[in-house]
Amino acid sequence: MTERLMLEDLDLSLGKRTRLHRLLYEHGPGNGTLLLLPIDQGLEHGPIDFFPNPPSAHPDYQCRLAKEGNYSGIVFHIGLATKYMREYAGTVPLILKLNGKTNIPSDAEAFSAQESSVEDAVRLGADAVGYTLYVGSPSQTLDFVQFGKVRAECERYGMPLIVWSYPRGSAVEAKGGHNSIYAVDYAARVANELGADIVKLNVPKFKDPGNTDSPAPYRQLYEEWKALDEDEAFRLAVEKVITSAGRTMVLFSGGSRISNEDLLQKARICMACGATGLIFGRNMWQRRFEEGLEITQRIKEILEADVTVLRRILFGEGPILD
């Protein structure tokens, strides 16, 4: 069983500690877990993501959701942060996303260009910055260099660094795909090696034949997991990548819209396995506002739950409570 990483376990500068404390204990669930609301999809995917719920095209929609739903923080690129945060300043912590791209060109040499700085984040009063690292992309040279400078600035300014660690690019696709266990597990380790404070990961595909193109040890893992029931395989996959993230707190993303039950079960398993939190966007704001608040509330209950209880319920672990 993986223990959830707590702030006091980490060797951090005072500035990083102070800002992370705000995210982990002063906002959101407040028990050392995180629930983040990302709203960078307008850049990454375009306005197409707002079609299912037109009001969501107005960033104020997500700001209100973050505030009323008491999220731990909201994720914005610089333009939205500058234009929409005024009335939420200090109420909703800001995570400034520093790099981005559109999804128009091919992902074969994926690279996410830096368009704002850690100094911007300081200036805007952000409590963390976000950076997308495309692990395994043919452009990883550029990415590592760009990332290294961001990391150094984060240390200079005491700014927590959240890495969207995404396997991507033609070479990744040739070895099992960007959601294979191999790829996500590697991405988790890379974030730990290169100095992320928090890493955002996708839940790896634990039952997907794509894994069959992965290196042998991962293929074997896939073979072993084939026989297991869904939740058990999910759990092993999640624990594997959390282990690889080491002393980097892990957030799992929601990805595209799924059913409520799938979403809640995903949340339960991730949190039971020691994740620090969740970063759910489309699943939260591709709904009517009230419905968004409601599902937020149900997710928050999972974040606030005791891990031991979650694990007993999900995995039948531990002694029977009296």
Task: List the catalytic residues.
Answer: 166, 200
Of residues 214-243, which lie at the interface with a second copy (CB under 8 A)? 215, 217-218, 243
| Residue 309 interacting with a second copy (CB under 8 A) | no
- For residue 112, give the amino acid letter: S
74 sits near a second copy (criterion: CB under 8 A): no
- Residue 109 is given by DSSP the state T
Q: Are 221 and 181 in contact (CB under 8 A)?
A: yes
Site for a second copy in 9-28 (CB under 8 A): 10-11, 13-22, 25-26
Total residues interacting with a second copy, rule: CB under 8 A: 101
Residue type, 61: Y
CB-based contact 185:165 (threshold 8 Å): no
Decide: is 210 part of the binding site for a second copy (CB under 8 A). Answer: no
Nearest-approach distance from CB 240 to a second copy, in angstroms: 8
**Sites for a second copy among residues 143-182 (CB under 8 A):** 143-145, 147-148, 151-152, 156-158, 167, 169, 171-172, 175, 182
| 3-class secondary structure, 201 | strand
Instruction: Put residue 205 in one of left, alpha, beta given phi > 0 → left and psi -120 to 50 → alpha.
Output: beta
Is position 274 an interface residue for a second copy (rule: CB under 8 A)? no
* Amino acid code (one letter) for 130: G
Q: 277-306: which residues touch a second copy (CB under 8 A)?
A: none
Per-residue contact track with a second copy, 89 to 118, x per CB under 8 A? xxx--x----xxxx-xxx----x-xxxxx-
Closer to a second copy by Cβ: residue 34 or 135:
135
Q: Residues with Cβ < 8 Å from 186, sequence gap 6 or more?
A: 135, 136, 167, 244
Residue 94: which H helix or E strand, with range? strand 94-97
86 touches a second copy (CB under 8 A): yes
